[in-house]
Chains A and B, each alone.
Chain A
Amino acid sequence: MIAQPAPKRDVLARRDSIVAGLRALLPETGVIAEALRLKPYETDGLSAYRQVPLAVVLPETTEQVAAVMAFCHREGVRVVPRGAGTSLSGGALPMEDSVVVGLMRMNRILDIDYADRCAVVQAGVTNIGITQAVQGRGFFYAPDPSSQLACMIGGNVNMNSGGAHCLRYGVTANNLLGLKVVTVEGEVLEIGGAHMDAAGYDWLGLLTGSEGQLVVVTEVTVRILRGPEGARAMLAAFDSNEIAGACVDSIIASGIIPVALEFMDRPAIHACEAFAHAGYPLDAEAMLIIEVEGSVAEQDDLLEKISQICRKFDPISLKISQSAEESLAIWKGRKGAFGAVGRISPDYLCMDGTIPTSRLPEVLRRIGEMSMSYNLQVANIFHAGDGNLHPLIMFDANDPASFEKAEHFGADILRLCVEVGGCLTGEHGVGVEKRDLMGVQFSETELEQMRRVKSAFDPGWLLNPSKVFPLKADAA
């Protein structure tokens, strides 16, 4: 179990009065404080880490969030913002003395403006909910993390979520125009709006991906884009990871930027096929999902160009999707990949490092060696276009030794990512999981610089405590 700073004893001692104070600010069902009902809030998508909070609040408006923040600030209570609780880095892990601010009830779409191609939504709207609201007019919200069905836009902003299509459309930060946020003191701030680019400091850019360290996000103005005329995926299967990796380089070098370029290794192919029945090639060592967009003729043209490149690498098979249903099934397998691994292993740790794409074969080889020496299976899923690697380390949580090994294995993989010129996390965030590895990527000077920025927003370090930064700073 990961080390956590000591809870504030005075806060724990005032539990009843704090809960009473919160109850005065919110509707009856908006405060949860009974031990048994708090239990399901003890964890998020990374269930290996757990801690029951002091209380959970479920505000319905920005004003209620502001009131809760002002109250907690006055009382010196730590606050953990939470969206759908799908974080894979423990981003919503509570502390014993913290109040969880759940934004799931703020799930309304406030405005859709097709002429200006933007939408204003509350933080608790799901990622896919935005696309569903605008797709009738042919529009979509571009970032598409695999958990897009469930994850909420407020969480996406805080984690700067990516997705399979960010090679073409960018990550969350590239698709935002404005935010409504609440500061730790309970002040409501408007950042940006429906226009592009701040004239002053780029608060939008800084707050995006700040993992709840700086403010609580309650409303988001997102860009919505008109979708292409159509899109089609193809599968290319290869005999080895090296060959598939070389094929990726060759595609990019040709000047074609597919809207998505995904890589799976053999264990991942098998787990996902069992879930999605998408016709993945079970005899392959590595598989690419390549998607292109445009009119049917444009798709044909691009897929032919890509097929020609793939053929140079002796593929086991090349399969171009023939229908929307087939493409959907291909993506269903990829997007359900993490959960699908649950079919072949009771538990997994999902790593999220990024590496220079040219180092993929080497990195996969070394992960394979580690897998042997740790004696833990691993499945690799890779956003090949942008270098984001997701090794899924399988273990058995009912066996403490197995979990400890998996944690070490994961840390080794992330060190390897940094060593080859990459980073610890491409889209899941540092959270609590990679907190203590930050020193691998950043010098103490750099961490101090980031801590000072955090302090500029949150001088008392009340917001989402014990995440992102190696622990020592929290103690101060």
Chain B
Amino acid sequence: MQTNFTLAQLADPDTAASNQVLRTCVHCGFCTATCPTFVLLGDELDSPRGRIYLIKDMLESGRPATEEVVRHVDRCLSCLSCMTTCPSGVNYMHLVDHARVRIEQTYRRPWHERGLRALLATVLPRPGLMRAALIGARLARPLAAFIPGRSMPAQRLRALLALAPAHVPSPSAIEGARVHAAIGPRRGRVALLAGCAQQVLDPAINEATIRLLTRLGVEVVVARGAGCCGALTHHMGRHDPAMASARANIEAWCREADGEGLDAVIINASGCGTTVKDYGFMFRTDPLRAQAERVSGLAADITEYLARIGYAPTRAAPGLTVAYHSACSLQHGQQVTAQPKALLRQAGFTVVEPAEGHLCCGSAGTYNMMQPEIAGRLRARKLANLEATRPDVVAAGNIGCLTQLAGGALPVVHSVQLLDWMAGGPAPAALAGVSHD
């Protein structure tokens, strides 16, 4: 597609990168069809192609972001379904990330939005704060019914409270930086991104991951100094805190890699995985570039790594049907689609897939808090499609999806919990009510 940047504009590396993305787009419109917001809202402006056009106009004009651009870019889930669809290979992710930074720099949001975004950006990446906030939200949950009105702030407040789990788990006994030794002869050594929100919302996921890996002979390091991957703030356009988080991780993992060595950096929340795999690009003009690229190269989803080293169940098949929900960050962001299903089948489950598997469930990081109406419609649509497959349990590889889909008619677990269970770990708590062989 034709672009109109001045040479001065193109001297900025971010603009130059976006120009390249825009030049790749041929405006064919294939992406519209698989975009969740276009399917729901039926407006070009809420499609990837429309947003690309709005972003192009914003960047070319050099003007500050306007309310219209912000409204439509904010509605983007960053599910990246468009990137799977795009025949031309347009890197929409980098373009929209750039747009979000530009918006954050040039647009002043209403006070309530600024407050909420600051709150989320502060709380979510910090497990201690997050746990406290969840307990508070749980206590306040009954109040949700008394928040009146259809205004965006009211909707968001209700959504925040509704998302708080009824039960806030206690911190895991294995939380914190340490080395989990391999059981038996050591055949590998990996770092685990312990994450931030996930270890508060569902510590069982990291426990299952570590149990399974160590039982397979892999030493698991939760590196000192590593923490939130930076995705949450990155997607809010908060460049500096995102880079700070990423930098801490890169340095921590490179220390480990240079020390005892690392075969991989394991990520079991695919939303984080997409960002870690993009560190190389994020630091493309930074002195840390080589290290960032190294970390991105090491990054692997837990299912990618398991498929690489081999997995075998030790228990008899439980006779359960698993509806595999493909998290957007995994299927679109990282193009990891076959491994999770293959592993679950290997583990002895019958695996089914819902219709419209390419559509986002509405979780999308903080999206379900910022855009509750659209997120709610996507959730309902996803649950209906999942229920239509008549499974015993839903499995997914991302904590955001697990939280979003919980509370429906079906138990929802992380894929790794099922794999761990069949390899000798405990049955996932969510399956307590499900009868199995």
Partner-B contacts on A (CB < 8 A): 29, 32, 34, 36-37, 39-41, 43-45, 47-48, 58, 84-86, 102, 104-105, 107, 124, 126, 128, 132, 147, 149-151, 275, 336-343, 346-348, 397-398
Contact = CB atoms under 8 A, between A and B. Distances in A.
B33 A104 contact: no
Nearest to A403: B2
Given A39-B54, A86-B30, A338-B87, 8 more contacts: A36-B69, A39-B57, A40-B54, A47-B26, A84-B32, A105-B43, A338-B26, A339-B86
A104 B37 CA distance: 12
30 contacts: A32-B43, A32-B45, A37-B45, A40-B45, A40-B49, A40-B54, A41-B44, A47-B26, A84-B32, A84-B33, A86-B29, A102-B42, A104-B38, A104-B44, A128-B33, A147-B28, A149-B30, A149-B85, A150-B32, A151-B29, A336-B87, A338-B26, A338-B87, A339-B28, A339-B86, A339-B87, A342-B25, A346-B24, A347-B1, A398-B2
B29 A45 contact: yes
Interface of B is mostly: helix
A104 B27 contact: no
Interface string B317-352: 000000000000000000000000000000000000
A341 to B, nearest CB: 8
Contacts of B68: 34, 36-37
B29 A84 contact: yes
Nearest to A272: B87
B127 interface: no
Given A36-B54, A107-B42, A275-B89, A126 B29 contact: no
A86 B28 contact: yes
Interface of A is mostly: loop
A123 to B, nearest CB: 12
Contacts of A41: 44
A45 B2 contact: no
A343 B69 CA distance: 28
Interface string B7-27: 000000000000000011111
A104 B43 contact: yes
Interface in B26-61: 26-34, 38-39, 41-45, 49-50, 53-54, 57
Interface of B: 1-3, 23-34, 38-39, 41-45, 49-50, 53-54, 57, 66, 68-69, 85-90, 355
A337 B26 CA distance: 12
The residue in B25, B45, B89 that gathers the most chain A C-beta atoms within 10 A of its C-beta is B45
Contacts of B44: 40-41, 85, 102, 104
Nearest 10 A/B pairs, CB to CB? A339-B87, A342-B88, A336-B87, A397-B2, A105-B42, A47-B27, A150-B33, A40-B53, A104-B42, A40-B50
A402 B27 CA distance: 19
A153 B87 CA distance: 21
A338 B2 contact: no
